[in-house]
Amino acid sequence: MNYQAKTRIYREASLEKNVNISLTLKQSHKIINVLRMKNNDEVTIFNEAYGEWSGKIIIQKSKVSVICGDIIKPIKVESGPSLIFSPLKQARTDWLIEKATECGAENLLPSIMKRTAVRNVNIERFKNNAIGAAEQTGRISIPNIEPLRNYEEQINFCVKLNKTIIFCDELRLSPLISELYKDLNPNDIAIVIGPEGGFDDEERDYVQTNIENLIECSLGPRIYRAETAALVALALFQ
C-alpha cells in the first residue's frame, strides 16, 4: 500500500464535522499557486483547541476553504522545554524558531541580554514560522511565544511557572548537559541560551544569586553559534 502524506493546515477556528473553514489569503495562495492543489483534494486541518481533522479543499477563484470531515487526532497541547534566547538577525532567528518548534519547545521567550544585538522582534513573524514548522512535523499545537522582555523578566516568568532554570554557559567545562538530561522532566525546565558573544558576568551573577532551582551546565567542548546551541540543548529533551 502506498502512503501519501496529506498537506496539513493550521487554522485558529472551531473545527467540527461538515464545517466550512475559510483559509487566509497566504494559505490560499500556497494551496493554489505553490502546491497546485485542486478542488476536493484531501488535506488535514488542525489546532490545539480542536485537534486534527480530515478535510477537502474548495477553491473559489483566489480563495480556498476546507470542509471538515472526521477527527483523526485528539486535542494535544505540546509539553516540552521552555527556551529563553537572545534574538539574532532575521534569517537566523527564523531558523531558531522553526527548529525549536520541531524539537517540541512549549514556550519561546525572546530576551534582551547585555550583548543582544537585535532589540526589536516581530512576534507575528515568529508565530508564522512556528506554524509552518508545526504543519511540517505533525505537531498539533504551536509554542506559546512571549513578548520580548529583559533577561531577568523572562527568567522570573519561568520561575513563576516552577521551571528549573538550565543555564547553558559557554565558559563552563562541567557538568555536561548530556550527563543531566535523563534525570530532568522536559516539561519542568527552562533552557537559557546566551547571545552571540556569550553571557555577561552580571547575568551569571543574577541566576547564581536569585534562582534557587538552577542548574549551570556546559553544552560540550565547542563554542556554538547561539542558534546551534539552542538546538543542541532542545534536541536532548524532545
Domains and their CATH numbers in the chain: 7-73 (2.40.240.20), 82-237 (3.40.1280.10)
pLDDT at 2: 44
Neighbours of 1 (CB within 10 A): 2
Cβ atoms of 45 and 16 within 8 Å: the answer is no
Dist CA 32 CA 12 (whole Å):
20
Dist CA 30 CA 11 (whole Å):
14
Whether this model's pTM surpasses 0.75: yes
pLDDT at 38: 93
Q: How far is CA 192 from CA 10, 26, 119, 155, in A?
A: 29, 34, 17, 8
pLDDT at 6: 84
Cβ atoms of 111 and 154 within 8 Å: the answer is yes
Dist CA 50 CA 76 (whole Å):
9
The enclosing H or E element of 205 equals: helix 201-210
Cβ atoms of 75 and 184 within 8 Å: the answer is no
pLDDT at 85: 97
Low-confidence residues of the chain: pLDDT under 50: 1-3
pLDDT at 188: 95
pLDDT at 3: 44
pLDDT at 31: 94
